A = this chain, B = another copy of it.
Amino acid sequence: MTTDFAATRALFHLPEGVIYLDGNSLGPLPRSAAARVADCVTKEWGEMLIRGWNAAGWMDQPMKQGNRIARLIGAEPDSVVLGDTLSIKVYQALAAALDMVPGRKVILSDTGNFPSDLYMAEGLCRTLGPDYRLVTVAPEDVAGAITDEVAVLMLTQVDYRTGRMHDMAALTALAHEKGAIAVWDLAHSAGALPVELAGCKADFAVGCTYKYLNSGPGGPAFIYVAPRHQDRALPALSGWLGHAAPFAFDLAYRPGAGVERMRVGTPPILQLAALEASLDIWDTVDMQALRARSVALCEAFIAGVEATCPDLALASPRDATQRGSQVSFRHPEGYAIMQALIAQGVIGDFRAPDILRFGFTPLYTSDADVEGAVAILAKIMASGSWDRPEFKARAKVT
């Protein structure tokens, strides 16, 4: 296990002149991914054609790569499988969870959750019928809102805007006390910090791989189902690759054993090849060392910005134990400030209405990145150089 983050940095392609603090939105390219994907395209698809499903092991990729992610999130072997997008995995987890608590019809979440997760819950409730509903409360009110009406507690561990972190162990225990099922979204946790799904007795978890796990744009999502639930969690999205015998082509659905029943359709093999290259790096990473380094980077950035940018208000928890691996500041002109930063090569991102968001990713963020980002941000804020029409014009994707 490595604790040498200068060495891991060398394994990523980081463009000249860029300080990249947006790995919480899209991780950079692992150098070896280019060759891995090229091999997948030319040697596997090109030469093996259909035979690749067996010969190149394509069919096994969702479980094989899932088992590598399992270590990073404290999951048991054979409890994580790749596929689809995070939104689809949210729908699957919620549908299976609701099914396990007959008689209850409330999904509880918080207003700090990804809107996308809330949308998927809303769509599922509408599909299930008028008795089902999604209830959202403020993040700090979640614990008090877990009543015995709640079927499923659906939370994102790390808030995508502020980095504020929920206490997974405590809230899962509370949910269980009230007879509810806990579904955790790890989009900003997997690869960001040590997660202990089994240790926290989480029931379901979902996450994506294109953020901290560096699988590239549109890389597949994953779903975790606790071993104790795997053979009773009924897939609403009952696809053929989750069938007990996909190639028997039976007319009736019979869910497969274990977490593989959460597979739906044909897995995205090129994206999985890129993920595979990234996980070659992740396999070597000590998660406790990663966390220590992440905290150090975040603390240095907070200290630097607060010392030089009095107009920026810290939006993230000051206490590192309450924070994921990102730091956010608020400013009413946050959008323009972020564009000015990007124009100078410091890439973070903006989240409506006023959040400047900076991800710190020990695998490739250096101390010099932190110092450089602080210096450039300080200069932009001191000079007011963000106040220009080209920085205020909104792009399609923010």
Contacts and interface: CB of A to CB of B under 8 A. Distances in A.
Contacts of A88: 84, 88, 237, 239, 264-265
A144 interface: no
Contacts of A396: 53-54, 59-60, 247
Contacts of A59: 396-397
B264 A87 contact: yes
Interface in A265-313: 265-272, 274
A115 B249 contact: yes
Contact of A271 (B18, B221, B271): B271
Given A34-B46, A253-B122, A265-B85, A217 B15 contact: no
A145 interface: no
Contact of A352 (B38, B129, B247): B247
A210 interface: yes
A253 B217 contact: no
Given A13-B46, A41-B274, 18 more contacts: A15-B46, A26-B45, A28-B45, A38-B38, A45-B216, A59-B397, A84-B84, A87-B264, A115-B249, A115-B250, A123-B236, A210-B266, A216-B270, A217-B268, A220-B268, A247-B352, A247-B396, A249-B352
Contacts of A347: 49-51
A176 interface: no
A136 B85 contact: no
B47 A15 contact: yes
